[in-house]
Structure 1
Amino acid sequence: MKSKNKLLTIMLIILVSITLVGVIALLIIFQLNKGEEVKGQTIDEIIESSVDIPEITTNLATNKFIRISLKVQMDSPEAGEELTKRDFQVKNIVITELSEMTPEDLEGKQGKTMFQATLKTKIDELMDDGEVQQVYITSYIIQ
């Protein structure tokens, strides 16, 4: 009876070990495939799917004003074309968001990153097709 229990324990340990090795192998394979699928866009592809938002001058929540230019990178050239048609809506979003902000809200890397993230979310809500990959601040002056 003891030898049957030992044999059963050994078989269970072997079965668990094989299962664990299989799960680890599958995770590694999925991670490798994921890395291959996510190819970075070339600079030409980024430019082709990006839209320039010309300089906007508007008041901040304080007595100061801001002059800002943006570039919005979309996930495809088609999405870029749609965004170009929606430029007046994007300008409205930028002006509305900035009107609620103070110069301190835009200070430093964190302030600009938060502003870019907000714009990305708001612009994504406008889009029928495609999505925003990144919002770049290309020019920025507060006076």
Structure 2
Amino acid sequence: MGKLNKKLVSTMIVLLSAILLLAAFALIIILKMDAKDENKEPSIEEVLKVSVDVPEITTNLKNGQFIKISFKVQTNSKKAKKELEKRDFQVKNIIISELSEMDRSSLDNKEDKLKFEEKLKEQFGELMQNGKIIKVYITSSMIS
């Protein structure tokens, strides 16, 4: 009866080892699939769910001209979106302060506008405690 027990124990060890190996393999595959999902771009529906509209602001530029401008700010989560919505007065303050130091030539071309969007992204990001800013989009602008 001793030989039967040894055979049974060794068979169980082999089976358990095989099961553990399969589980480890499955875990590796699942983790790799999750990593691929993180790298894919979000759909437009996902972007809109975590974005905040900054309504049109009219303010003076440095040289006395006026600008009307509005934005859409993309965050990384719904929690960050809610925080940014509560910080709307701070967001508007940053925008107005930055624009008061600029003149028409500071927003003349695409490159200048991209720099301005990036500057706002950094400054809005410094406000955030529950998430981060992904992108700032100028949705309309008019200088007069």
Mapped partners of 2:35, 2:113: distance in 1: 30
Whether 2:86 is the aligned partner of 1:85: answer yes
Equivalent residue number for residue 112 of structure 2: 111
- Aligned to 2:73, the other structure's residue is in SS state strand
Equivalent residue number for residue 72 of structure 2: 71
Mapped partners of 1:127, 1:48: distance in 2: 18
Q: How many equivalent residue pairs?
A: 112
Equivalent residue number for residue 135 of structure 2: 134
Mapped partners of 2:41, 2:71: distance in 1: 22
Letter aligned with residue 73 of structure 1: Q
Letter aligned with residue 90 of structure 1: V
Equivalent residue number for residue 95 of structure 2: 94
Equivalent residue number for residue 50 of structure 2: 49
RMSD over equivalenced CA pairs, Å: 1.5
Unaligned 5+ segments in structure 2 are 1-33
Equivalent residue number for residue 121 of structure 1: 122
Mapped partners of 2:142, 2:68: distance in 1: 5
Deviation at 1:35?
Answer: 5.5
Deviation at 1:56?
Answer: 0.2
Letter aligned with residue 111 of structure 2: Q
Mapped partners of 2:65, 2:93: distance in 1: 19
Unaligned 5+ segments in structure 1 are 1-32
Provide the identity percentage: 50
Runs (4+) off by over 4 Å: 33-36
TM-score normalised per structure 2: 0.74
